[in-house]
Amino acid sequence: MDTPKQAALLKRHRLKPHLPRHVAIIMDGNGRWAKKRHLPRIAGHRAGAHSIREIVRLSGELGIEALTLYAFSTENWRRPKKEVGLLMQLLKQYLRNEVGELLENNVQLKTIGNTGDLPLEIQSELRKAMGATAHCTGLKLVLALSYSGRADLIHAIKRIAKKAKAGHLHPEAITEKTIGQSLSTADLPEVDLLIRTSGEFRVSNFLLWELAYSEFHITKTLWPDFRTPHFIAALRDFQGRQRRFGGVESIVGSVTSWAR
């Protein structure tokens, strides 16, 4: 149920009541944003952190359950060492500075991806921030860090194969649910809406299994320019879609029980 504050916010932004339960964002275009301004790429990443702050706060206020942000892919390790180092520094700063803001907004921080690949000091900041926000009951903010959709599937398949080998699972008993529950996103609702900024029409190894029935909103807006009006536009776009899940009738809002 919406709180009166959420209802007022929906009205102010001319949104209908049914919002996506889980929004995922490929935050792209930081480099191009910086290039346009003749600035180093890291300036784009820094500006992008302001967009993160605004979208996280708004998602929480609107009552969205989960927001998954693609912050760093396994492929991003291929970038120049200097850029990777600066990105890691920025992530450390974000984690240190944002805990207060997350707590204030009742946001619980989580991660998906191979966080063991990250520098130890970042792993320790992540543990601290996740520990500090573990009791929060509002938005689940999921940072995809050193994330690869294929790697997550491989990990899930290995877990399932081990169970089968040990005799705890019959191969014929493997269902969508078995796989969904073995992925790092097991505790999250289905992804209803995927947003990609900067106009690229590709998934770049993001939530491969989870995007099966997501609605896609692709905008040319570069991530550092993506703020409240752009997010609202994406939500309105979602609310205008007919979701059919392979059937013939349109289903309103999010249907999250079909797979799990």
Assess 189 for contact with ligand IPE (CB under 6 A).
no
Say which residues have a Cβ less than 8 Å from residue 91's Cβ, sequence separation at least 6. 71, 72, 118, 122, 145
Residue 180 or 224 having the CB closest to ligand IPE? 224
CB atoms within 10 A of CB 46: 18
Which residues are part of the catalytic machinery? 28, 76
For the purposes of burial, counting CB atoms within 10 Å of the CB of 51, is it exposed (0-12), middle (13-18) or buried (19 or more)? buried
Residues constituting the chain: 260
Q: Nearer Cβ to Mg ion, position 28 or 190?
A: 28
Q: Is 219 in the site for ligand IPE (CB under 6 A)?
A: no
**Considering only residues 6, 51, 68, 73, which one is a binding residue for ligand IPE as defined by CB under 6 A?**
73
Name the residue nearer to Mg ion (CB basis): 140 or 230. Answer: 230
In Å, what is the CA distance from 14 to each residue of 8, 100, 103, 166? 10, 30, 28, 54
Nearest to ligand IPE of 79, 236 (CB atom): 79
Residue ranges in 145-174 that form contacts with ligand IPE under rule CB under 6 A? none
* ∠ Cα 186 68 251 (to 5°): 75
192 binds Mg ion (CB under 5 A): no
What is the C-alpha separation between 77 and 85, in angstroms, rounded?
Answer: 10
Please identify which residue in 16, 150, 202, 244 interacts with ligand IPE, judged by CB under 6 A: 202
Q: Binding residue for Mg ion (CB under 5 A) from 6, 28, 113, 133?
A: 28
Helix 41-62 to helix 4-12 angle (10° resolution) is 120
With contacts defined by CB under 5 A, name the span among 25-33, 66-74, 147-155, 177-185 that binds Mg ion.
25-33
Q: Please give the residue ranges that form the binding site for Mg ion (CB under 5 A).
A: 28
Q: Please give the residue ranges that form the binding site for ligand IPE (CB under 6 A).
A: 26-32, 70-73, 76, 87, 198, 200, 202, 204
